[in-house]
Amino acid sequence: MDHKKVAERVIKDVGRDNIIAGAHCATRLRLVLKDDSKVDQKALDNDPDVKGTFKTNGQYQVIIGPGDVNDVYDEFIKITGLKELSTDDLKKVAAEGKKKNPVMDFIKLLSDIFVPIIPALVAGGLLMALNNFLTSPGLFGSKSVVQMAPNIAGLSNMIQVMSAAPFIFMPILVGMSAAKRFGANQFLGAAIGMIMTTPNLGGATKFWDIFGLHVAQTNYQYQVIPVLVSVWVLSILEKRFHKWLPSAVDFTFTPLLSIMITGFLTFVIIGPVFKGISDAITNAIVWLYNTTGAFGMGVFGLTYSAIVTTGLHQSFPAVETQLLAAFAKNPASSGDFIFVTACMANVAQGAATFAVYFLTKNKKMKGLASSSGVSALLGITEPALFGVNLKYKFPFFCALIGSGVAAAFAGAMHVTAAALGSAGFLGFLSIYPKTIPMWIVSVAISFVVAFVLTYVYGKGHLKEEVASQDVPVNDATTQAEENQKAEKVSKEQLSLKDEVIASPVDGTPESLTKVNDQVFSAKLMGDGAAVIPSDGTIYSPVTGTVTIAYETKHAYGIKSDDGAEVLIHIGLDTVNLKGEHFESFVKQGQRVEKGDKLGTVDLDAVKKAGYDTTVMVVITNTANYANVQRITDASDKHGDKLIAVTAHN
């Protein structure tokens, strides 16, 4: 790569006078521009040295790749004369002159609280669906499975108990998560949830007589909003007492006073008021669903993906938990229709992306469309939305139509979900058993309508626009340079060998498509795997040479002796920490053996600072291999098999 020429092309394509500031991280240039509409997007898409672009948080990001991005940025600074900035400084520049949005801040707050507890609700909901499968008559005949096989009745009862627990004691889960978000002690937040759900409460008809004040012993099982407000009050009290009380008594009296005062306020004021508000919100949503029926679902399906592009969908888990809690308490209620709509919308966006795959001959776009299409069908649509469909526009709108038609059909058929889960092809696991057949039909409608509309419209009306992605590469790259590059790639391919890349850290392996960063989830940097770390020690996954060792210590690049170029990226946006909470033991150019320690990270401190600690392991020269595949049965230990790479014969 000619770093100077790449920098020149990027500057030309975004507009030299359009650049306000620039920084870089381990993989991409991050730019703040005056006007994003002035970017020559087509030229950047066709640039062979640019792996992709996207906009987020006021930044226009150009993906170059590990190692090369440093040199391109250096040339970028020389040419533009701009001041070098850290990514943290760039965030401040991007935020200048922008008013804070209280609605989005509130939605972000809800997202931070409810997203961590979703796994518990998914487990409970799926167990509930399994129990419904066992106990519902009419699925395999006039009798239920339990009636036909009485010997499994005990198992069914056990599953019912396990499925109900996360919803009955939801205030405890919400209390812990909310306390963490509000900056209070998590266990005090859990304690408030326990107080609100303890079996010793007599119910709304029982009262405590406190100095003549009759306080109802209401049990707040299944509730969400009352515990949120209570823990918010707890957080304020705890912080005040920490500030007011001397250190000698702080440890003892801050928890005591915080819990006692919050508990009293909860039963006297917070609980009764906000339980009424919570019930009213739930009833209003259910009424709206029951009243508008198929039409309402159709409108929701027609707008769902548009809502996703704004980020407003992050508030939906707060509503869905209420719907699922009501369903767990009374299966005759509506259940979670939001999840059903999400399934239709995600499948439609995936189908439209696959239609683009067949429309375009651009190899880069084909690769992005295929990987992001699969990701969308499995419930993660951001790569498909921002990487493909919104770039061409018409696939996005065709997908909206497909989603709207399918959601309307699902509403007419009363398809409902009993749990949260993967809102895509695997969503049937969360659907109420009796409605699974109609859910399958709805998903098929969503896929077919979105795919056909996108393909037909693109083929008949925008063929030239799609085909124009196949124009020759940027004029700055000569044919001779292209031939040299192709020859170099060919030689590299012949020198590669099959090998297995080990996990660099203890933790749970995951698909890259589940990473909350579209550069990695769309595999723009290459294929690989992710690991949710349980320990902060990072080990070398191969024997080879360290090619990248950033000063910020959040990423490493290693070229193995067999030719694999491995990027290990620790956390998302952790470059902003500037090395804080990280320690590195290696330098660029150093030889390492598989299993050698590369560095450490304080996972708790990084999480407390508000960063995702997921570790990404990416084979950045994926294009030179015949196949790069995550080993799906990988263990949780570092050094064990994680990724298999297969060389061309």
Residue 262, pLDDT score: 96
Whether pLDDT at 488 is above 70? no
Rounded average pLDDT over 358-375: 80
Residue 473, pLDDT score: 44
- Helix (H) / strand (E) element for 227: namely helix 225-244
d(Cα 519, Cα 409) in Å, to the nearest integer? Answer: 35
- Nearest Cα to Cα of residue 73 among 93, 56, 90, 58: 90
Residue 528, pLDDT score: 92
User: Given phi > 0 = left and psi -120 to 50 = alpha, else beta, which region is 39?
Assistant: beta
Rounded average pLDDT over 13-38: 84
DSSP assignment of 355-423, as one string? HHHHH---HHHHHHHHHHHHHHHTT--HHHIIIIIHHHSHHHHHHHHHHHHHHHHHHHTT--BSS---S
Rounded average pLDDT over 300-306: 90
Question: Are 345 and 408 a contacting pair, CB within 8 Å?
Answer: no
Residue 205, pLDDT score: 87
Residue 495, pLDDT score: 67
Predicted confidence band of residue 272 (pLDDT cuts 50, 70, 90): very high
DSSP 269: I
d(Cα 158, Cα 375) in Å, to the nearest integer? Answer: 35
d(Cα 116, Cα 110) in Å, to the nearest integer? Answer: 11
Whether pLDDT at 464 is above 60? no
Q: Considering the candidates 313, 554, 569, 638, report the single residue annotated as catalytic.
A: 569
Question: Are 43 and 103 a contacting pair, CB within 8 Å?
Answer: no
d(Cα 458, Cα 452) in Å, to the nearest integer? Answer: 10
Q: Is 398 a catalytic residue?
A: no
Residue 594, pLDDT score: 93
Residue 386, pLDDT score: 74
CA distance to 545, 558, 565, per residue, from 561 (Å):
8, 9, 10
Q: What is the pTM of this model?
A: 0.65
Predicted confidence band of residue 255 (pLDDT cuts 50, 70, 90): very high
pLDDT digit string, tens, across residues 522-567: 777 888 999 999 999 999 999 999 998 888 899 999 999 988 999 9
pLDDT digit string, tens, across residues 322-335: 888 877 777 766 78
- Nearest Cα to Cα of residue 412 among 292, 591, 525: 292
Mean of the per-residue pLDDT values of the chain = 84
Q: Considering the candidates 25, 313, 343, 581, report the single residue annotated as catalytic.
A: 25
d(Cα 575, Cα 550) in Å, to the nearest integer? Answer: 9
CA distance to 119, 510, 546, 609, per residue, from 533 (Å):
17, 10, 22, 16
Residue 34, pLDDT score: 83
pLDDT digit string, tens, across residues 52-111: 777 766 788 888 877 788 888 888 888 888 887 776 677 677 666 555 567 667 777 777
Residue 443, pLDDT score: 96
Whether pLDDT at 421 is above 90? no
Residue 480, pLDDT score: 54
**Token couple for 484:** 């040299």
Q: Of 157-161, 187-191, 461-465, 544-548, which range is least confident?
A: 461-465
Residue 472, pLDDT score: 45
Q: Of 339-353, 414-428, 569-583, which range is least confident?
A: 414-428
Q: Is 242 a catalytic residue?
A: no
Residue 468, pLDDT score: 45
Residue 117, pLDDT score: 84
Residue 466, pLDDT score: 47
